[in-house]
Structure 1
């Protein structure tokens, strides 16, 4: 296989395309059969494994040689680090939730939201919770039932309330340092989470602020005498989330940050009586198990990408892209369109980033696009697409929990945050208002690291 490494062969991309076709096709077929959450029934690791098997059959060379290439991809530094971060972030999220962290975040946030501004308040609560927990689906499963009750009693526009919650959930899904999309974007591009957070946050924050202002004006309740049922909370139980965010932003190693987060959450759980040694250990394990799908998908994609690269598939694709892309700006536009198209096909923003990550990095290397930019673009546009497609998990959850009272067609036009984020992200490509972290510490493309560590 080594002799073919420099070749550009389009047919070598077939195993990758097969993975997407199987994943997309299964979703379309199941949706036509009326299956709930149709695009999430066929496991991504299984679809990817089929692509791996086909690659072993298609590509020339002995089984041993092909497996050596596959193992090289699986065992690459970026894949290994990414998978370890997945496990630790899952452990932290579950331990913190088990000791009551999620309930405390929700109840504390609701306690400080004025009733007159409840729709904007729900958006901000969703932003805060998703930023703390790193999961849009976890945020929505906690807040959508609350939002439904508030909308019904307060005479709120139900579709607008649901759209506000989806937007807030996608804010943290995109930005949180323990979000699987952030982990995938930064590791595939080879940059630090804190750098991506600073650049990405500069783009996302104006979109969030404008969305909140619009919701303040457009989302006022008819009934201002809403009696919110707010449960008990402990500010202490919120501290692990703040600690993880702050420590990550000041530059502490992400493994140390997440490990300290797990320990901190565990200690609080022991003191409060919410955790025992056994339940603490089980929460760590359950958290790791909860990341198993993205963990396995990352491993298989890592190995498959290396095989496709070895056979010339990635080079062929880059050659084709080079005929369209004329410089760094069009390269960034191409990366954005690529990840949107992939997410629209498979309705999974994390998997979309994992699939497109190696290609985006190749484009970044060719056109000298800062990887902190490409990581931000991958994450932002994957989340924009994921939070707006009618068959995405977020909008499907709204339809399910409202009993069909709110349809995708009602919600999508009201997804102001996603639309504004897209506008600011596109502007940032041509007017680099968010590039202050890049200008402060330029990228060394030869060593693939910042000039000043």
Structure 2
């Protein structure tokens, strides 16, 4: 059906996306709320009406777009739901309370943000998953930061900066392999190319962490408040060294299984179940308590407001607000992808890619626009990557420049958009909205700026070495583009 479908005109396509942008801008200016559910619904209805009236798009194809988008979302949203189940299991098992208890005693507030960035970087480099890093070390670090009196938005920003750094440079990262595959380059050559902008951005993120950490010197921390926190934790949980080590088993399971490339959803479920068993055996809970906690969130009244605020969280139901944004955003993106709106917009952009600077900047803009419209980092890699690869061949630019551009646009912006898959995930797991943590997610907004600077100046824009095979591939790519 799609082959015989009349593609929407540029005017119709622009009207659809500008309506969405207009709604978001109006909402941010007048309300300033990250609650974009109804905004996405209104934008979807407007897109359906425009496509039905001006392009005569059959409703069956629109429905296929919705199904396509939700199919992309399903596994990710299931992971998010089970992380909601896992968090209260970890709390009841003593995993998070133990990490907070010992973390606030070991980590200095002045270096907490720096430590957070480094820990999440190492974790993600080893496991290849920014989501797994946020769900394990990230959750624990949010609790430690709260105990030290660090702004949760700053902590979340440091966690995401570290996690995205590792995700962009780990050879077992899904986005790294997808970017390399979409541009048909070697994974390690791709990583070397990505590092040119990612490493400077990471250095800036570390500098920012040090600078922001100066606001939290040890002299500013209320030692009496910390002592009260430790007392409340030790009174309500078994945090003796032996039991603390036992309580770390659920977290270690996630790390080990991730390193072994075990299924992500199964890993989260196993960790949640093990946490539940530890809570029952070692912390004195019964199965009915755990079923309630894992569904509705952990609940405790310690008499200490700060402890209650740190630990009363999680649960399957707490993730439903976030899950619904994920489904709505990806349904909207699926409609635009299946009905040809994205093709129309991206093909129109190819007309201005006559030189390396324009090509890379247009590719970046297309990646950012794609993730803004589809809410999917994977789609923002695949569609612009395949769309512009012939342009790189035509200008004799190495394909590793194309593959890194896939990473420097959509992937970096992903955690910053309230409706995108990454932002939905991070905000749901860390409990901080993208509008709050975005200013502190230094790596995510500095890397695209550095990449754009390289494009404008020509730095690290490598040319392909001429060869018979290269000339043959170039001719084939140009012929295919024509």
Which residue of the other structure, out of 57, 69, 80, is the alignment partner of 2:52? 57
Q: Does 1:294 align with 2:326?
A: yes
Residues 178-198 of structure 1, C-alpha deviations (whole Å, 9 max, x = no match): xxxxx9978997969xx79x9
The residue aligned with 2:106 is 112
Contact 1:73 1:304 in 2 (8 A): yes
Q: Does 1:363 align with 2:370?
A: no
Structure 2 CA distance, aligned partners of 1:244 and 1:328?
Answer: 43
What are the residue-to-residue correspondences of 1:178-189 with 2, within 5 Å?
Answer: none
The residue aligned with 2:271 is 264
Seen in structure 2, the aligned counterparts of structure 1 residues 416 and 315 have a Cα distance that, compared at 3 Å, is closer
The residue aligned with 1:431 is 460
Q: Does 1:169 align with 2:159?
A: yes
What are the residue-to-residue correspondences of 1:275-286 with 2, within 5 Å?
Answer: 276=287, 278-279=291-292, 282=295, 285-286=316-317
Structure 2 CA distance, aligned partners of 1:102 and 1:48?
Answer: 40
Contact 1:116 1:224 in 2 (8 A): no
Contact 2:113 2:154 in 1 (8 A): yes
Q: Does 1:67 align with 2:59?
A: yes
With normalisation by structure 2, the TM-score equals 0.59
Which residue of the other structure, out of 304, 307, 314, is the alignment partner of 2:336? 304
Contact 1:89 1:258 in 2 (8 A): yes
RMSD: 5.1
The residue aligned with 1:438 is none
Secondary structure, counterpart of 1:38 in structure 2 = coil
Seen in structure 2, the aligned counterparts of structure 1 residues 384 and 134 have a Cα distance that, compared at 3 Å, is same
Seen in structure 2, the aligned counterparts of structure 1 residues 306 and 342 have a Cα distance that, compared at 3 Å, is closer
Structure 1 CA distance, aligned partners of 2:286 and 2:363?
Answer: 44
Shift of 1:306: 1.0
Secondary structure, counterpart of 2:375 in structure 1 = helix
Q: Does 1:376 align with 2:402?
A: no
Contact 1:104 1:237 in 2 (8 A): yes
Contact 1:15 1:54 in 2 (8 A): no
Residues 396-422 of structure 1, C-alpha deviations (whole Å, 9 max, x = no match): 547xxxxxxxxx9xxx5x875456544
Structure 2 alignment gaps of length 5 or more = 124-129, 168-172, 297-314, 393-398, 419-426, 463-472, 474-482
What are the residue-to-residue correspondences of 1:195-210 with 2, within 5 Å?
Answer: 199=191, 202=195, 204=198, 207-208=201-202
Seen in structure 2, the aligned counterparts of structure 1 residues 206 and 190 have a Cα distance that, compared at 3 Å, is closer
Structure with max Cα Rg:
2
Contact 2:367 2:384 in 1 (8 A): no
Which residue of the other structure, out of 76, 83, 88, is the alignment partner of 2:73? 83
Structure 1 CA distance, aligned partners of 2:405 and 2:37?
Answer: 29
Structure 1 CA distance, aligned partners of 2:70 and 2:108?
Answer: 46
With normalisation by structure 1, the TM-score equals 0.62
Please identify, of 328-337 and 256-265, the stretch whose mean Cα deviation from structure 2 is larger: 328-337
Contact 2:145 2:152 in 1 (8 A): yes
Shift of 1:54: 1.6
Contact 2:141 2:155 in 1 (8 A): yes
Seen in structure 2, the aligned counterparts of structure 1 residues 316 and 296 have a Cα distance that, compared at 3 Å, is closer
Shift of 1:83: 1.6
Seen in structure 2, the aligned counterparts of structure 1 residues 214 and 190 have a Cα distance that, compared at 3 Å, is closer
Shift of 1:55: 3.6
What are the residue-to-residue correspondences of 1:12-51 with 2, within 5 Å?
Answer: 12-13=12-13, 14-30=15-31, 37-40=32-35, 43-51=38-46
What are the residue-to-residue correspondences of 1:137-148 with 2, within 5 Å?
Answer: 142=143, 145-146=146-147
Q: Does 1:316 align with 2:344?
A: yes
Shift of 1:303: 2.3
Seen in structure 2, the aligned counterparts of structure 1 residues 268 and 316 have a Cα distance that, compared at 3 Å, is closer
